[in-house]
Amino acid sequence: MESTIIVAFITALGTIINTVISKKTNKKINNIDDINQKLDFMRNESKKDMLEHTIDADKTYLINFLSDLENGVPKTEVQIKRTYEIYERYVNNGGNSYVHDKWEEVKKKGLL
């Protein structure tokens, strides 16, 4: 009888310890999931900010380049090729405003 009580006590103690460890582990998993969600949000916001900055920088570069062409500032073939790449990236990133109109205007003048 005494050994049955000891076995029952050991089994109960094991169950209690297992339950406590499981609860702590679940809390840690939930904390990790929360951290991952926050990191994903921050990563997405950072990507949006970088995209906005890229569009803005491309817009500034393109306007300056096109204005230079209109004002007779000579450009090399490599500079023009690079500008086409930047313009393509600008359009692909969703930037399409007065820059597009200016681009077409300069192309029609034969400067680009």
How far apart CA 15 and CA 29 sit, in angstroms, is 21
pLDDT at 93 over 70: yes
DSSP-derived letter for residue 109 is: T
Instruction: Tell me the whole-structure pTM to 2 decimals.
Output: 0.68
DSSP-derived letter for residue 95 is: -
- Choose between 109 and 31: higher pLDDT: 109
Q: Which residues, at least 6 apart from 112, have a Cβ–Cβ distance to it below 8 Å?
A: 66, 69, 80, 83, 103, 106
Token pair for residue 13? 């103690």
- Choose between 5 and 50: higher pLDDT: 50
- Choose between 28 and 1: higher pLDDT: 28
Report angle CA 100, 106, 112 to the nearest 5 degrees. 105
pLDDT in tens, 37-79: 887 888 889 899 999 999 999 999 999 999 999 999 999 999 9
Nearest to 60 by CA among 102, 23, 22, 26: 102
pLDDT at 3 over 70: no
Of 41-45, 65-69, 84-88, 99-103, the one with minimum mean pLDDT is: 41-45
Helix (H, G, I), strand (E, B) or coil at 35: helix
